[in-house]
Amino acid sequence: MQVLLTQEQIRDRISAMAGEIARDYPPDEQIHLVCVLKGGFMFLSDLVRALPTRVTLDFIALSSYGKGTKSSGEVRMIKDVDHALEGRHVVIVEDIVDTGLTLHYLQDILRARSPKTLRTACLLSKPSRRQVDVPVEYVGFTIEDHFIVGYGLDYDERYRELPYLAILRDGE
């Protein structure tokens, strides 16, 4: 495996992203972060610690690639959020946007619940793979078409614990 982004590079970028997010909301208003499990957990935990703003948290789980590295294009909700989103400043916290299908589905569902604002923070984006145009207000790193593991991202449930991002193999 080849290291794509080191712990230090990730930490510096997340700290800058936290600044961008904080600047976009009135300081006295709470941000409600909705983390997409499981891949987003490490990004969320570093992002909340870098944010100067008060936040509340919730979690949602969607089906992803399953065992392979190819997207089926099918999205399924495995676990819904626990709290209502109405009137809240919601920020989706997602590990990676690839084809955009997962995020497109998720944004539609959450938008229907009348949040005050809805934005998305993705640690990684692979624009060359996009099939649907989804708005992502905060992007950590724009990358080429590689299959990435580490820092929360898995291949068949492995490698999530790595503190850095690595290329498992080149995209096909």
Q: Which residues bind ligand 5GP (CB under 6 A)?
A: 39, 64-65, 71, 94-103, 147-149, 153-155
Catalytic residue among 98, 154, 156, 170: 98
**102-109, Cβ contacts within 8 angstroms, sequence gap of 24 or more:** 102/36, 102/62, 102/64, 102/71, 102/75, 103/134, 103/136, 104/132, 104/134, 105/62, 105/75, 106/36, 106/60, 106/62, 106/75, 107/134, 107/135, 109/77
Measured CA angle at 81 (ends 79, 161), to 5 deg: 65
Provide the 10 A C-beta neighbour count for residue 168: 18
Shortest spacing between CB 140 and ligand 5GP, in angstroms: 13
Q: Is 25 or 65 the residue whose CB approaches ligand 5GP more closely?
A: 65
Q: Is 22 or 146 the residue whose CB approaches ligand 5GP more closely?
A: 146
Q: Would residue 154 show up in a list of annotated catalytic residues for this protein?
A: no
Q: Is 53 or 62 the residue whose CB approaches ligand 5GP more closely?
A: 62
Shortest spacing between CB 40 and ligand 5GP, in angstroms: 8
Q: Which amino acid is it at 31?
A: I
Shortest spacing between CB 94 and ligand 5GP, in angstroms: 6
Q: Is 6 or 114 the residue whose CB approaches ligand 5GP more closely?
A: 6
Shortest spacing between CB 86 and ligand 5GP, in angstroms: 25
Q: Could you list the active site residues?
A: 98
